[in-house]
Amino acid sequence: MTDLVAAPVPLIRFSSEDLPEETRMEYLRDFYSRTRIGAEITPMIEDEKFRLDLAVQPLLGDTWVGRGLMTPHRATRTAVLASATNNDGVLLTRCTGRFIFSDRHTGEMPIETHDVLMANFNQTCEYVYLARDTVQTLAIDRTQLLNRLPGFEPEVSTRFDGRSPALSLLFAYAEAISRESVGSTMLGQVAAMHLADLAALALGVRGDHAEAARESGQKAARFALIKADLEQDFQNTELSAAAVAHRHGISVRYLHVLFEQSGQTFGDFVLERRLRFAMSRLTDPRCRHLRVADIAFDSGFADLTTFNRAFRRRFGATPSSVRP
C-alpha cells in the first residue's frame, strides 16, 4: 500500500475561456496539451469557438477522476508525448456523445454513447470527439488494478457496455467523488481503493478477488450514492428510509446497516443535514425576511415544535437567537 503523506490533494480546474483569446490555442497546443493532457489538440471548428473545460480530482498514485466539457476536436498522443507522460494508469472514458478511438493495436474503434473505453494512459492513440459533449474519465492505478485482476491484460484497448450494473455503479461513484472535497491523501487513498475494487468487478474479476471487491467497493459506492441522494432530497418532509431504500434497490435493513457501519444512523444523518441547512438560512442576512417557521419547513421539518427542540439540542441556542 502506498505510504500516506499529510499533503492536500487539490481539485484541478481548467477552462479555455479563462485564457486570452489571442494566445488561447498557443497555450493549449504548446503547454497545456503537453504537460497536463499529454496529447496534441486539434480543434475541428474555428479556433475562437473552441472550448475545453476540465475538472480533475487526483486521489492516490495514478488514480484520479475527471470530467470535461469540450467542442469537436482531435486529441493525439504521439510516441514522444506517450513516453513523457508520467502516468501508468488504466484510463476509462465515457462520453455523452459518440467518439472515435484509434491505436496501432485495435485500429479505428467507434465508441457509442452507452460504451466505456478502456485504454492505457501512456499509449500512442487518438481520440476524435465529433460534437460538443461532456466526457467523464477515470484513471485507475495499474498496480492496484492488477492486484485484483491476476492475468488481466490492460495493454489491449477494449470497449465495454457501460450499461452493465458494475460499470454504472463505478461511474456513479466516481461522479459522487468528484462532487466531494477530497482534502487529504487519507481520503484519496480510501476512494482510490474503492474505485479499484469496482473497476475490477466491472472488468471481469472472479473468485475470492471478486468477493473482496464486492465487500469493499460496492458497499462504499452504494453508500456514497445514497448520501448524494439525501443531499438532494433532505428538504422533503415525506422523506423516509423505506423510500430511499426502494430508490436504490436495497432493503430497509441493509440501508440501516450501511449507516450503522459509518457510525451514524439514517435519521441522525438527515436531521444533521436539515439542521445545518436551517442554521445557514437563519444566520444569512439575506434571509431575515423569512419567518423561523418558514425556514423550518423549508429545511424538511414537518412541525415547528420538533424543529425548535432539535435546534436547541444541537446548537445550544434558540433559532431566533442566532439571527443577525
Q: What is the CATH number of the domain that holds 195?
A: 2.60.120.10
pLDDT of residue 280: 94
Considering the domain architecture, whether residues 270 and 172 belong to the same structural domain is answered as no
- Domain endpoint, select from 207, 233, 259: 233
User: What would the grid cell of residue 122 be?
Assistant: 501512456
Higher pLDDT, 63 or 84: 63
Element holding 273 (H helix, E strand): helix 266-282
Within a domain: 2: no
- Domain endpoint, select from 215, 233, 251: 233
> Is the pLDDT assigned to residue 84 strictly greater than 80?
no
pLDDT of residue 323: 92
Within a domain: 6: no
> Is the pLDDT assigned to residue 79 strictly greater than 70?
yes
Considering the domain architecture, whether residues 144 and 83 belong to the same structural domain is answered as yes
Strand partners, 56: 12, 66
Per-residue pLDDT band at 270 (split at 50, 70, 90)? very high
Q: Cα(76)–Cα(83) distance, rounded to whole angstroms?
A: 13
Rounded to the nearest integer, the mean pLDDT of the chain is: 83
Considering the domain architecture, whether residues 60 and 152 belong to the same structural domain is answered as yes
Within a domain: 1: no
Within a domain: 308: yes
Strand partners, 42: 74
pLDDT tens digit sequence for 220-260: 667 777 887 888 899 999 999 999 998 888 899 989 988 88
Considering the domain architecture, whether residues 95 and 142 belong to the same structural domain is answered as yes
Share of the chain above pLDDT 70, in %: 85
Q: Cα(81)–Cα(87) distance, rounded to whole angstroms?
A: 11
- Domain endpoint, select from 204, 233, 262: 233
pLDDT tens digit sequence for 146-170: 887 776 776 778 888 888 888 888 8
pLDDT of residue 206: 43
User: What would the grid cell of residue 308 be?
Assistant: 425548535
Considering the domain architecture, whether residues 324 and 229 belong to the same structural domain is answered as no
Considering the domain architecture, whether residues 270 and 220 belong to the same structural domain is answered as no
CATH of the domain at 277: 1.10.10.60
Considering the domain architecture, whether residues 199 and 85 belong to the same structural domain is answered as yes
Considering the domain architecture, whether residues 254 and 182 belong to the same structural domain is answered as no
Within a domain: 102: yes
Which CA distances in Å does 258 have to 176, 240, 242, 250, 262?
A: 17, 15, 14, 11, 7
pLDDT of residue 145: 81
Considering the domain architecture, whether residues 156 and 255 belong to the same structural domain is answered as no
pLDDT of residue 129: 94
Within a domain: 5: no
Considering the domain architecture, whether residues 261 and 173 belong to the same structural domain is answered as no
φ, ψ of residue 266 to 5 degrees: the values are: -55, -50
Query: What residues contact 13, with CB distance under 8 A and at least 6 apart?
Result: 54, 55, 56
Domain with 320, as residue range(s), is: 234-324
User: What would the grid cell of residue 111 be?
Assistant: 465508441
Edge-to-edge strand ranges of the sheet holding 125-129: 40-43, 73-77, 125-129, 99-103, 107-111
Query: What residues contact 105, with CB distance under 8 A and at least 6 apart?
Result: 155, 156, 157
> Is the pLDDT assigned to residue 33 strictly greater than 70?
no
Considering the domain architecture, whether residues 188 and 316 belong to the same structural domain is answered as no
> Is the pLDDT assigned to residue 305 strictly greater than 80?
yes
Report the number of distinct structural domains present in the chain: 2
Considering the domain architecture, whether residues 205 and 265 belong to the same structural domain is answered as no
